[in-house]
Amino acid sequence: MDTTPPLDPAVARRDLAAIAVDAWEHRLEESPTLCTNLGLDRGLDRLDERGPTARARRERALEALRLRVEALPPDALEGEDRLTRSILVRSLSESLEALTHHGWEWSLDPLMGAHLEPQALVGKHPLRTPADVRALEARFAAVPALLAQHVGDLKEGLESTSATSDPPTHPSSLSSRARTRAARARPPASPRSRAARPRTRSRCDATRRPPCPPTGSTASGRRSSSATRRRCSPSRTRRAGPASCRSS
């Protein structure tokens, strides 16, 4: 029987606030580019680090934060505090899942990838003092290392058995195999599927242009033929719909 006394709500709220602050500080420390985008003068001489060393460091920190927030019983929190706890648990868990499942192996973004990250910072990096200029120069000097780390991550993806069971080959071959796998995994169309069904005649098809009845050579026949052509003309059919083709 659990004899642990219930946690005081005031203490739980204070602990939750401290965890939230630590989680935000961890994110800012690990992402100098985020700090620059937010207008914070923090890490101005650094770029976001990639590679196994950075991933191991982040995983340890994220796991410690997740254990701390999960140790807080939700029953000790109320209202927005309980919602904050749920959001923290989900955010930290998803970040850990991305590391566990090697999300960096396929992190190839043509719109905002590592090759464009330094360029995007130029317009937001402060240039108020000589120190700011030197910090920007340090960032430019770190670009080759950033690209090397990114290429190394992608190479891990090509060599990983989670990406392909075949020997490492050119990326185009990898994408071709991925498309082949997807095609094989797609279930075949059932006989009753929409694509396999024969096209049925709709009511509009049957009534849009009804065949005009044969007419004779008499005056009444000519008048009947003229009236029928007016009723069956395409312009009247499109304007009035199938009802305009009904015989009088």
pLDDT at 146: 92
pLDDT of 23 higher than 90: yes
Q: How far is CA 224 from the centre of its chain?
A: 65
Q: Is the dihedral of CA 205, 206, 208, 214 positive or negative?
A: positive
pLDDT of 43 higher than 90: yes
Q: Side chain identity at 117, as an amino acid letter?
A: E
163-166-170-174 Cα dihedral, nearest 10 degrees: -50
Domain limits, the chain: 9-104+117-161
pLDDT at 94: 94
Cα separation, 123 vs 116, in Å, equals 12
> Percent of the chain, pLDDT > 70?
62
Helix (H, G, I), strand (E, B) or coil at 97: helix
Task: Say how many residues make up the chain.
Answer: 248
Residue pair 204/210 in contact (Cβ under 8 Å)? The answer is: no
| DSSP sequence for 48-80 | ---SHHHHHHHHHHHHHHHHHHHTS-GGG--TH
> Percent of the chain, pLDDT > 90?
42
In sequence order, the 6+-apart residues with CB closer than 8 A to the CB of 41 are: 35, 126
pLDDT digits (tens, 9 = 90+) for 95-154: 999 898 888 887 777 877 888 888 888 889 999 999 999 999 999 999 999 999 999 888
- Binned at pLDDT 50, 70 and 90, residue 247 comes out as very low
Cα separation, 101 vs 55, in Å, equals 12
pLDDT digits (tens, 9 = 90+) for 204-225: 555 555 555 555 545 555 555 5
Q: Side chain identity at 88, as an amino acid letter?
A: L
Residue pair 32/42 in contact (Cβ under 8 Å)? The answer is: yes
Q: Side chain identity at 92, as an amino acid letter?
A: L
Closest residue by Cα to residue 186 from 178, 198, 196: 178
pLDDT of 9 higher than 70: yes
pLDDT of 156 higher than 70: yes
Cα separation, 193 vs 166, in Å, equals 35
Cα separation, 195 vs 218, in Å, equals 51
Helix axes 80-100, 9-30, angle to 10 degrees: 40
pLDDT at 88: 95
